[in-house]
Amino acid sequence: MKQAFLVFLGGGLGSVLRYLISKPLNPLFQNFFLGTFLVNMIGCLLIGFVLGITAKGNLLSSNGALFLATGFCGGFTTFSAFAFEKHHLLRNGELLNFALYMLSSVGVGILAVVLGLWLAKLIS
């Protein structure tokens, strides 16, 4: 239960910070969501750093890593987990799985958005 609370707390903090960064920055450029882009890149940097120092041993507890990587980065951006997982595939030489996962994630994700918009239009 303690671990679930750490994820909950970190996720809430990450989500609020994402909102506070994205809201003022996204409208600055037409057709480029600067706030979202920055949040995603910061999240990638942060999850890499957190998981890197966790792997070294005594620098961060498993609960600290859970709070920061799963909770905070998960709430701040799911893109960070996506990027870390793709790095893992590349590092292990799984190029086919990397390519398939990348293409299907982006392609199916876009199709899912289109489908969701279509379904919403049906009921409204």
Tell me the residue range of the domain where 110 lies: 94-124
In this structure, the answer to whether residues 22 and 67 fall within a common structural domain is: yes
Total structural domains within the chain: 2
Q: 26 with 75, same domain?
A: yes
User: Do 103 and 46 sit in the same domain of this protein?
Assistant: no
C-alpha span between 11 and 107 (Å, rounded): 26
Same structural domain for residues 12 and 43?
Answer: yes
pLDDT of residue 55: 85
Whether the pTM exceeds 0.85: the reply is no
Note the pLDDT of residue 42. Answer: 92
Q: Report the 10 Å Cβ neighbour count for 25.
A: 16
Taking only the tens place, the pLDDT of each residue in 25-57 is 999 988 788 998 999 899 999 998 998 888 887
64 assigned ligand-binding residue? no
Q: Is 52 annotated as a binding residue?
A: no
Both 38 and 66 in one domain: the answer is: yes
Which residues, given as ranges, of the chain have pLDDT below 70? 124
For 111, counting Cβ atoms within 10 Å of its Cβ (0-12 exposed, 13-18 middle, 19+ buried), the class is exposed
53 in the same domain as 29: yes
pLDDT of amino acid 124: 60
Identify which of 89, 86, 124 has the alpha carbon closest to the alpha carbon of residue 106. 86
Q: What is the pLDDT of residue 45?
A: 92
